[in-house]
Structure 1
């Protein structure tokens, strides 16, 4: 059982990484902008919801988790379908904790960078 908890925290890392990269990073900017446009102005509800998934890290993490669980056959507590359900929601939750922590760290780093640039600018002006 201890190993399962260890694997849970490891399994959540690629989920968080993939979900964050697709929904937030510059490399997928054009695709994300296309999806944002389609999610706002699509003519059918199902189409709007489909494209929205690629703009929300929480939503997208569910799909990444599903694929990861199918590939790895990772379960928690029970070895049958119940274990997949528990693993699914656990991995999603841990991955989203990781993404939230990462976001907090990024915001703090940006604040520090802005402060440093402002101080440097003030020093140059004096």
Structure 2
């Protein structure tokens, strides 16, 4: 059982990484902008929702988790389908905690950069 908890936290790492990279990082910017446009301007609801998935890290983490569980066959607590369901929601939740923490760290780093730049600017002006 302890090993399962360890694997839960480890398996949430690639889910968080993939979901964050696709939905937030510069490398996928053009594809994401296309998806944002299509999620707002498609004429059918199903198309709008399909494209929205690629713009929301929470939503996208569900799909990444489903693929990961299909590949790894990881089950939590129960050895049958219930184990898949529990592991699915547990991995999604942990991955989203990781992404939230990462976002907080990034915001703090940006604030520090702005403070330093402002202080340097003030020193140059004095």
Give the TM-score of the pair, scaled to structure 2.
Answer: 0.99
CA distance in 1, matches of 2:122, 2:79: 62
CA distance in 2, matches of 1:120, 1:17: 34
Once superposed, which parts of structure 1, at least 4 consecutive aligned residues long, lie more than 6 Å away?
Answer: none
Structure 1 partner of 2:15: 15
Structure 2 partner of 1:49: 49
Q: CA RMSD in A?
A: 0.3
For 1:34-66, what per-residue CA distance to the aligned partner results, in whole angstroms no more than 9, with x for missing partners? 000000000100000000000000000000000
CA distance in 2, matches of 1:80, 1:70: 14
User: Number of residue pairs matched?
Assistant: 126
* Equivalent residue runs for 1:63-74 within 5 Å: 63-74=63-74
Structure 2 partner of 1:32: 32
For 1:65-124, what per-residue CA distance to the aligned partner results, in whole angstroms no more than 9, with x for missing partners? 000000000000001100000000000000000000000000000000000000001111
What runs of 5+ residues in structure 2 fail to find an aligned partner?
none
